[in-house]
Each structure stands twice: as C-alpha cells, then as structure tokens.
Amino acid sequence: MRRVVALQELAGPALLVIVAALLGTAVSFSTQTYFTDALVKVAIVAALYVFIGNSGVLSFGHISFVAVGAWTAGVLSVPAAEKPAIMPNLAGFLRDRSTGNLSSLALAALVGGICALVVALPLMRLSGLAAGIATFGVLEITHNMLRYEERIGPGLNTFSSVPETTGLRQAALGALVVIVIAFAYGRSRFGRLLRATREDPAAA
C-alpha cells in the first residue's frame, strides 16, 4: 500500500514534466527553447529541494554549485580551436581540451560535487540564519571568481561558442531523473534524518 501511495505521489510531478515535453514538441523550434529552459530549471529546483526542502535551511551555496557545474560544462564544450580567441588566458589543461555533451555533463557534476564537499566541511554545523549568511557568502565568492577569473573562463568577455547540445528530450529526461532521485532521497533513512533536524534539532 505504501508503495502505491509513493508511486502516486511521484506520478504527479513526473507527469507534468512529460506533458511539458510533449507540448514543447508541438511548437516552433524558437519557442521550444523556452520549454527546454523550463525543464532544466525544474531539474535545478528539484535538486535544491533535496537539501533545502528536507532540512529547512535556506542555502544559497547550492546555486553556486550549479553555477560551477554549468561553467565547467560550458568551458569544456567550447571547441579547443576557438578557445584562444575568446578565452586567451585560460589555463592550459582547459584550453587544450574539449569534450562532448555527456562527458562534459559528467565532469560538471563531478566538479560541482567536489565544490559542495569542500564547502560543506566547514559549514555543515551551521543552521538557521548563520547558515544562510555563510552560504550567501559562498555564492558571492563563486560569482566573482567565475565572473573575473580569466584562467577558468572568459572573464569579462562574452561567453560565446558554447554549442547548443541540450534538447527537449535530454532536458525532460534529466528533469525526470532528478525528480526520482529527490523523491527517493526524501523517503530514505538519510532524508528522514535530515527532516528530523528541521523538526527537532535536539532530538536529531
């Protein structure tokens, strides 16, 4: 019975994603971009829910992890032949390499995860307002580094030549995968423990 209820709860958001993807196929290519963008943002919001929704802690840091991952995928996706023109000061290990869609996404997830681990170690004991302020500082530091550091990106120059590889199908599949993971985590032992810290920190 519990599994049936769980599947019903999961079916709602999953069905919305599928409907949005199907609607996207019925519009023009230029309008389809909005559907793709919306599905990507659904994946981001569902991923944010894994921590923020279960813990009740407002974390701006998770947006910085998304930014680092997206930046990594973007830099690695730009053709190596075009990097010297748009990112002349790029570090050598980034300048001389270019990867495809799936490999850049995997590396983006890895780099974002490493950043999350590094940030979590000193901040994981904070809660409430203190955690929100600290993670906002992380967001600002990340923004400034990605914006101005020319060894990891174009700096103040336009971030161009990133190939458009994410289509409607990939965005929908990505959103569905993230929703399933977020739902499964929420029902897992770790998800319940995290919610316990929100409801009763002393008991947790």
- Residue 82 within any structural domain of the chain: yes
Cβ distance 161 to 79 under 8 Å?
yes
- pLDDT category at 176 given cuts 50, 70, 90 is very high
pLDDT at position 204 over 60? no
pLDDT tens for 8-21 read: 778 888 888 899 89
More confident residue, 131 or 32: 32
The candidate with the shortest Cα–Cα distance to 94, out of 176, 152, 52, is 152
The helix or strand, by DSSP H or E, that contains position 28, with its residue range, turns out to be none
Token pair for 56: 């009740």
What's the structural domain count of the chain? Answer: 1
- Residue 46 within any structural domain of the chain: yes
Amino acid at 129: L
- Residue 31 within any structural domain of the chain: yes
pLDDT at position 201 over 70? no
pLDDT tens for 61-70 read: 888 999 998 8
- pLDDT category at 181 given cuts 50, 70, 90 is very high
What is each CA distance from 48 to 43, 62, 98, 193, in whole angstroms?
9, 7, 29, 17
Between CA 87 and CA 56 the distance in angstroms is: 40
- 124-129, long-range: CB within 8 Å, 24+ apart, which pairs? 127/57, 127/197, 127/201, 128/57
What is the per-residue pLDDT for 1? 62
Average pLDDT over residues 150-158: 80
- pLDDT category at 114 given cuts 50, 70, 90 is very high
In this structure, what is the dihedral angle of CA atoms 160, 17, 114, 108, given to the nearest 10 degrees? -30
Global pTM reads 0.81
Cβ distance 96 to 21 under 8 Å?
no
- Residue 155 within any structural domain of the chain: yes
- Residue 204 within any structural domain of the chain: no
- pLDDT category at 132 given cuts 50, 70, 90 is confident
Average pLDDT over residues 116-133: 80
What is the per-residue pLDDT for 202? 61
Average pLDDT over residues 127-143: 84
Give Dmax over CA atoms of the chain in angstroms.
Answer: 60
Question: Which of 67-81, 84-98, 189-203 shows the highest mean pLDDT?
Answer: 67-81
pLDDT tens for 36-60 read: 999 999 999 998 888 888 887 778 8
Q: What is the domain range of residue 180?
A: 2-199
What is the per-residue pLDDT for 27? 87
